[in-house]
Amino acid sequence: MGQEVLSENWAEEERLAVVPLEGASASTPDVSVGLMGGRSSDVSPVKHQNFGLEVEKENDDFFGGSSSGSRNGSRGLAGLQNLGNTCFMNSALQCLAHTPELVEYFLQDYDDEINPANPLGMEGELAVAFGELIRKLWAGREVVVPRPFKNKLSRFAPQFSGYNQHDSQELLAFLLDGLHEDLNRVKSKPYIEVKDIDGRPDGEVADEYWAIHKARNNSIIVDLFQGQYKSTLVCPVCAKVSVTFDPFMYLSLPLPEKQQLMSVAVTVFSGDGSASPEVHTVQIPGPKQARPKDLIHALSVACTLEENEYLFVVEVYNNRIYRVISECPSAPLSLANGDRLAAFRLKSFPGKTTKLILYHGTLEETIGKQFKLYGSPLVTAIPEAGLSEGAELYNLVAKVVSPLRREAEVNSSPEDWPFRLFITDDKASTVDLLIDPHMPLPTFNFSPREHRYLILVWSPSAKDQYGFKELENLAPVTIPDSRRREPISLYACLEAFMREEPLGPDDMWFCPKCKEHRQASKKLDLWRLPEILVVHLKRFSYSRYSNKLETLVDFPVHDLDLSKYVSHRTDPYELFAVSNHYGGVGGGHYTAYAKLCNENKWYNFDDSCVNPMSPDSIKTTAAYVLFYRRKRLGTNPAPDPCVSRGVSSLSMI
């Protein structure tokens, strides 16, 4: 019996999905009063003229009274059934379903505003399905099955078909755009050429851009959710400035890292053998902010680098130089736990120099021409004049390794060198030639070349004369956990969003003056704020590795003041909904916190489960998308500067 009832319910849901309903009768209920906690009205039969249907709806009071299956007569407290990994959809829908102005619109007669012929829309069907879902959520039900809406969504947005987990913000972006196109009051979009903006005041140009935008895009979504920002591009070559004023539906804010410091221990060797190895622990910016130049500067100060010296910093792996860090001082440092670093103080010589890199092995560990290496390499520099005799090379190497000599053996040096030198490559994978210390170097030209590699093969008795502790015990790097960081304010995120930055190499700008693509600098400024401000916190990154930031963002609940970020007067904003994400990249779980405005109480919407919650619990590391509503201070707001130009005041500051 239970299965039969379930099948009948699904059949009814599918029937409504094929031909959804929307709008209200001519006797529109006074929902605005009910929404704010006052009286309410019944909802009459719905007629969708464009689709030629008339279907009776529940004769329920959407904001008061009681009905079968209601939560003690409360409206707006219906859960959404999870259809299988649809928590992302449920979270976004609950946030929109608790946007008072949007609910008011969809509970009234909006039939005349549907634009089924819009080629950019969804034939009006997405708006119909959404409006029908809003009516069910405010009909006093315990749980609503959003299958008709999900089917429509899958039809028009195949990326959301099936039952894979998706991003609530991506769904929200598609849904708002789709609703706008389905409800666009502009049936035929005019072509309007933008005038030359050179020399005109920003305010005049911004109003003109906004008027042009509204002439082509005019819907309840634009009225409520769209604002405008100023985009400034500056050419780095000719200093050409380009300014545009573009609409936005939501703000995607980065989560800036506070200046997180990490300690890095580096063994510093003398390139000419004039000093013993020293371990220096320095403070540099955190792992995502650090650059090689930061490490080089800190080490230079720590070891009191001379004016005629420079640091050659490397990462050592498997007793070889894995990479030369100091060659790209402005690139990301990209350290990982367990990395081992070494730095070499080298003399600056006039002209070109050769860096001589010395690997270490022992005679008893040779197998044919293969050597087993150990310890850290050593590095020295050879001036442009180069070397010509084998003895010169051996004496140079002996000086480089002299700080490793044991003190008791300093005054009892052997007559011969306790090592032999072999020519090799950067990975020490081949051995080309044994260098005879008593012969010239005709076949081994030490004329200027960037790097040359030798294997220094120690005699069995060398370990009695030299100490190799410093070579074998390079300190490992320890990276602090960057996923959990100190709390940051929402204002810091906004300032990071507005900070001037160069465009990426894949996002070059064509400069109209240079007639070339340039890596211009770009700056965004807020110009016009919407009634409903949606803020997306960019917790996910998909660059080299997928990552989610678990940073706690301290966002205002009652008074988000953006006055300092815009040129117009603006009232503060109040938070009314949050889309939350728990877990890692590619999975996890979404919920929503939403405020029931007529009760002034917060609730946790976790799919079909709805429970009251304390406002003190709203701020968590799971907060992903924030929904703010403009607070009207006083009864006489400032006059709208664009009313005379025919621009809707709902989206103005």
Catalytic residue numbers?
87, 589
Token pair of 232 as six digits: 């400034």
- Gyration radius (Cα) of the chain, Å: 35
- Residue 204 φ/ψ, nearest 5 degrees: -65, -45
Which residues partner with 231 through β-bridges? 244, 524
Strand, coil or helix: 408 = helix
The span from the CA of 352 to the CA of 171, in Å, is 59
State the Cα angle at 391 between 389 and 392, rounded to 5°: 70
Token pair of 260 as six digits: 């997180």
The span from the CA of 345 to the CA of 507, in Å, is 40
CB neighbour list of residue 360: distance below 8 Å, 6 or more residues apart: 319, 373, 374, 375, 377, 378, 455, 456, 458, 468, 471
- Residue 246 φ/ψ, nearest 5 degrees: -115, 150
CB neighbour list of residue 342: distance below 8 Å, 6 or more residues apart: 266, 267, 268, 269, 313, 314, 316, 376, 377, 474
> Measured in whole angstroms, how far is the alpha carbon of residue 46 from the centre of its chain?
44
Contact 107, 138 (CB under 8 A): yes
The span from the CA of 154 to the CA of 162, in Å, is 8
The span from the CA of 396 to the CA of 379, in Å, is 11
Contact 101, 224 (CB under 8 A): yes
At 214, which helix (H) or strand (E)?
helix 202-216
Contact 208, 125 (CB under 8 A): no
